[in-house]
Amino acid sequence: MALPIVYTLTSCPTCDDLRTDWQTKRIQYEERRVDTSQQWLNEALRYADTVPIVVRPDGAVEVGFDGEMG
């Protein structure tokens, strides 16, 4: 089963909100913290220049969380 990929920053209040909400709802995902990997940063920049970025298994991309951006 493919999981959504979520590009985040280690210190990002909006990313923290997403992590907390999804953990509460038991939504599984693969987190890629762009401040820990140049490869993940390069991947994220193909979609947007702000986080969080959610890439769904069907290829749909969502930038931000709950109307906010990091």
- What is the residue range of 31's domain? 5-63
Band of residue 10 on the pLDDT scale cut at 50, 70, 90: very high
pTM: 0.94
Helix (H) or strand (E) holding 6: strand 5-8
Predicted pLDDT at 25: 98
User: Residue 56: inside a domain, yes or no?
Assistant: yes
Predicted pLDDT at 1: 74
User: Residue 21: inside a domain, yes or no?
Assistant: yes
User: Residue 69: inside a domain, yes or no?
Assistant: no
User: Residue 54: inside a domain, yes or no?
Assistant: yes
Predicted pLDDT at 67: 86
User: Residue 68: inside a domain, yes or no?
Assistant: no
Q: Is the pLDDT of residue 70 over 80?
A: no
- Counting the structural domains of the chain, the total is 1
Q: Is the pLDDT of residue 27 over 90?
A: yes
Distances from the Cα of 20 to the Cαs of 1, 7, 23, 42, in angstroms? 22, 15, 5, 25
